[in-house]
A and B are shown apart, each in its own frame.
Chain A
Amino acid sequence: MPICRREFLKLAGLGSAIMVLGSRGLLQAAGGEQAKDDFFFLQISDTHWGFNDPAVNPDSKGTLKKAIAAANSLTVQPDFVVFTGDLTHTTDDPKERRRRMAEVKEIIGGLKVRDIKFLAGEHDAGLDNGEAFQEIFGKTRYTFQHKGVNFIVVDNVSDPTSSIGDAGLQWLQGELAKLDPASRIIVLTHRPLFDLYPQWDWWTRDGSKAVDMLMPYKNATVLYGHIHQEHHHMTGHIPHHAAKGMMLPLPAPGSVPKRVPIPWNPAEPYKGLGYRGVTAKAAKGEYLLTEYPIVKGV
């Protein structure tokens, strides 16, 4: 369902909006795809279900539920919701890992929207090469299409060396080969594909190869998580947008000696946590990002 201007402004009022300029006019210039309906989806990331440190988040069991309730209260429901990884907080115990996954999946099932896409994070998949994640959530790399936009889920977490790996890169190449250079593409992944701050594992070891594969495609955008904060970066013409997390905010890259969670501030509860709405405006080839807090005003 396209979003009318009134509803869009209402959604925008809940959070901060960033207009992302895609390749305006490209669809018309290339004479490629016909115009499709606008659509809206949510990106929720780094829920870290199982994390427990009251000094960082005293509402570790409630934050995600609050976000789900807020999402369910939107007058215009998203077409789908994508979770960009670290659904669970890592554990050495394979049974506990599966228990957390099953539990968070059940909680996420409380969303009104039924079309939910899951990505793994290194917390979910890094210690067992994605075995438990695949049992409970499905494939770690896949594609889907929605109203003229091609979504490609890239796995850069099942390999604990922070790599996509040769097989994953080969797969990505194959999927891209099916698409026209004018195609609208959104890559969904967990870690940044570029070297944001490798010292903190904020990179993908072979991410530059993936970015190189994307460069011929003039209308590609990357959405990712992992760093627990909003971040925007360009590699050439390709925008990369990191989403906030839902459990433990992290400091800006290199701002402090160690990558430790930012402590909870009772005066500003849930500060640094949130989720994102993405409005795809087909005719203009643009994506509007709206950042939603867990609690209004923070």
Chain B
Amino acid sequence: MTCMLVSLSGLAEAADAADAQRQGSEAIKITAKRFEYSPNEIHVKKNVPVVIEFTALDRLHGFVVPQLNIRSNIEPGKITRVTIVFPDAGTYDFHCDIFCGDGHEDMTGKFIVEE
């Protein structure tokens, strides 16, 4: 699976939302708190830049999409923007990768990518 990363580094960095907005994408707002993302199932189109605006409601969380090698910290008190382009239709799981307590393993979600 090839992937259009927002960075050429081995681990994709969070991208500037302005870049994505110039491409006509709308921001999807996701909150993160122990132990859930809300929403945690997001439907998007393939090959369309998706700008996600994360807000951590309680503490530092992580966001990682293993299939795309994309991750970001989500810090409380600020909006964290991540832009993703999904190259193929399908399901892309994401989860929190910063230990945040008893229930950390439940902090997951998925992108449903449509044609």
Contact = CB atoms under 8 A, between A and B. Distances in A.
Q: Real complex partners, A and B?
A: yes
Interface of A: 89-92, 122-123, 126-127, 160-162, 198-201, 258-260
B95 A92 contact: no
Interface of B: 60, 62, 66, 93, 95, 97-102, 104-106, 108
Contacts of B104: 201
A89 B102 contact: yes
A160 B105 contact: no
Contact of B98 (A91, A161, A259): A161
Contact of B101 (A92, A258, A259, A260): A92
Chain A to chain B: the 9 pairs with minimum beta-carbon distance, closest first: A126-B99, A160-B99, A122-B99, A90-B102, A259-B105, A160-B98, A161-B98, A90-B101, A199-B66
Given A198-B66, A199-B66, A127 B99 contact: yes
Contacts of A126: 99
B102 A201 contact: no
**Most central of B62, B97, B108 by chain A CB within 10 Å:** B97
Given A199-B93, A199-B95, A201-B99, 8 more contacts: A90-B101, A126-B99, A127-B99, A127-B101, A160-B98, A160-B100, A198-B97, A258-B106
B97 A162 contact: yes
A92 B102 CA distance: 8
Contacts of B97: 161-162, 198, 201
A200 B105 contact: yes
Nearest to B67: A199
B38 to A, nearest CB: 18
Contacts of B99: 122, 126-127, 160-162, 201
A65 to B, nearest CB: 23
A258 B95 CA distance: 11
A92 B33 CA distance: 14
A107 to B, nearest CB: 21
22 contacts: A90-B101, A90-B102, A92-B101, A127-B99, A127-B100, A160-B60, A160-B98, A160-B99, A161-B98, A161-B99, A162-B97, A198-B97, A199-B93, A199-B95, A201-B97, A201-B99, A201-B105, A258-B105, A258-B106, A258-B108, A259-B105, A260-B105
